[in-house]
Amino acid sequence: MNHFPRLHRSANALRFSSASVLLFGAIAASEPACSADSRPPSLINLGAALPSEGGRTGSASPEAGSANDSGTSGDAQNAGAGGEGGSAGAADEFHGIAGERSAVPAECARLPAWSGATRVSGVSTEANETLLAMTPDELDLAFLRDGALFVAHRPSTSASFSSGTPVTIPVGFSAAQGAALSADGLRLLLVSDPDQKKLGELTRASRESGFSTTIDTSAFAAINQESNFTRRVYAWPSISLGDDQLIFSSSLDAASTIVVSSRTESGVFSAPRSFGSGLLDGSDGKRRLPTGVSADGRTLFYFNEESGEEEARWRENNRSESPLYDMLSLGARRNAVPNAGCTRLYSTDNGDVVVEKD
């Protein structure tokens, strides 16, 4: 079941609520804002069709993720992009193979100015697409196309994505409750269906090859055992760039929260624990569903079923126990996922996968 309603290109559907920034302690006056306006910009211009490299409008506007984009200075267009290297500024913050960290990771500004939404060429078609996950280097996307799971790859951020390769999902699992890609693009996490009591993963030998058809649950034994003991059910996993934290929704009857599991020295994930000091709790069946996490581990993107909006929360450090106090509504966006440099944001709009730049 897809919990994200399709958006309508109208003024009502594209409204954004005011940013609600809760300051505490040393948070006050941290990063400089990217915009003087405390309200995030509209996902698309009201009444205007999205440009595309072959999308529904048929226009030839370049994709916002193109390496030829000259609209930013120090843009992390190649940040973390599998050996593509980088330039001065944010692009240097992630480099080399996917998942490799440098000493100073990029961080997401608390008042980003996402704009210029563009359909992702190759992925967005006449069909109905829903973004599920993206690798931080922007080279692999997992998405639903008319309800079927696909993974698309491209060799560089200057290239278009392939139209996507269908993924055969083993019996007992589905992508109805989300999916997650490891930073290297070699593992695809899924949730068991219909019970939602187990996490498992499919693997592949390279980013250009297809995923296996055998689910492996060994790395999630403690998580799955916890569900057996507590009757909790899971949804919408998201993996950190360092592959050391797994964030997902955990529900018991009508109550829910977001939890985190840390990878242990043996390579398996620990039993889940609360993530957010109650700030991410839901009631009456209205969950907070993680959709992405920043490369520095300090910003969480999630869909709030209670407010019906995408939201982001910030914390002062990337320790798993650090609370996420600062909150910003991202309004009409759905399934938001940032790139490694947090210079571009991918999301779902009205059956298309789109990308914006900050």
Q: Which two structure tokens, joined as six digits, stand for 252?
A: 């018991």
Tokens 């624990």 belong to 273
Residue 247 sits at φ, ψ, to 5 deg, of: -115, 135
pLDDT top residue among 63 and 212: 212
Give the N- to C-terminal CA distance of the chain in Å, as an integer. 31
**Angstrom distances, CA of residue 120 to CA of 70, 71, 85, 87, 305:** 18, 18, 22, 24, 26
* Average pLDDT value for residue range 324-348: 93
Residue 74 has pLDDT above 70, yes or no: no
Q: Is the peptide bond before 194 cis (omega within 30 degrees of 0)?
A: yes
Helix, strand, or coil (residue 32): coil
AA identity, residue 258 = I
Is the pLDDT at 37 greater than 70? The verdict is no
**112 band by pLDDT with thresholds 50, 70 and 90:** confident
Mean predicted confidence (pLDDT) in 327-345: 94
Nearest Cα neighbor of 141 from 90, 107, 175 is 175
The more confidently predicted of residues 228 and 8 is 228
Please report, for the domain that includes residue 284, its CATH number: 2.115.10
In a domain, 331, yes or no: yes
* Cα–Cα distance list, 349 to 6, 145, 171, 331 (Å): 7, 13, 30, 12
Q: Tell me the C-alpha distance between 290 and 314, whole Å.
A: 13
Asked if residue 71 belongs to a domain, the reply is no
Whether 106 maps to a domain, the answer reads: yes
Do the domain assignments include residue 161? yes
* Selection from 15-29, 52-66, 218-232, 262-276 with the highest mean pLDDT: 218-232
Q: Quick one: how far is CA 38 from the chain centroid?
A: 23
Tell me, yes or no, whether 296 lies in a domain: yes
Mean pLDDT confidence for 307-315: 93
What is residue 274's predicted lDDT score, i.e. its pLDDT?
Answer: 87
At residue 103, does pLDDT exceed 70? no
More confident residue, 20 or 332: 332
Q: CA quadruple 324, 329, 335, 339: dihedral positive or negative?
A: negative
Among 109-123, 138-152, 233-247, 316-330, name the one with the lowest average pLDDT. 316-330
What would the pLDDT profile of 290-304 be if each residue is shown by its tens digit? 999 999 989 999 999
Return the pLDDT at 320. Answer: 64
How does residue 330 score in pLDDT terms, banded at 50, 70 and 90?
very high
Average pLDDT over residues 253-258: 95
Task: State the pLDDT at residue 253.
Answer: 94
Mean pLDDT of the chain: 76
In a domain, residue 211? The reply is yes
- Count structural domains, the chain: 1
Round to whole Å and give the CA distance between 331 and 310: 6
CB 244 within 8 A of CB 262: yes
Question: Given a cut of 80, is residue 178 above it in pLDDT?
Answer: yes
pLDDT value, residue 309 = 95
Asked if residue 65 has pLDDT above 50, the reply is no
Q: Please give the radius of gyration of the chain, using alpha carbons only, rounded to the nearest integer.
A: 19
Structural domain including 101 reads 25-63+90-357
SS3 (DSSP) at 345: strand
Residue at 299 is within a domain: yes
Q: Which pLDDT score is estimated for 104? A: 55
Contact between 351 and 129 under an 8 Å Cβ cutoff? The reply is yes
| pTM: predicted TM-score of the whole model, two decimal places | 0.74
| pLDDT value of residue 70 | 32
Is residue 23 scored above 70 in pLDDT? no
Is the pLDDT score of 187 beyond 80? yes
Average pLDDT over residues 319-348: 90
pLDDT of residue 39: 30
Kindly tell me if the per-residue pLDDT of 280 is higher than 70.
yes
Cα angle 189, 194, 197 (rounded to 5 degrees) comes to 60
**324-329 mean pLDDT:** 88
Contact call for residues 319 and 262 (beta carbons, < 8 A): no
Q: How far apart are CA 327 and CA 288, in angstroms?
A: 13
Q: Which of 7-11, 37-41, 316-320 has the lowest mean pLDDT?
A: 37-41
Burial of 49 (0-12, 13-18, 19+ CB in 10 A): middle
Does the residue 174 lie in any domain?
Answer: yes
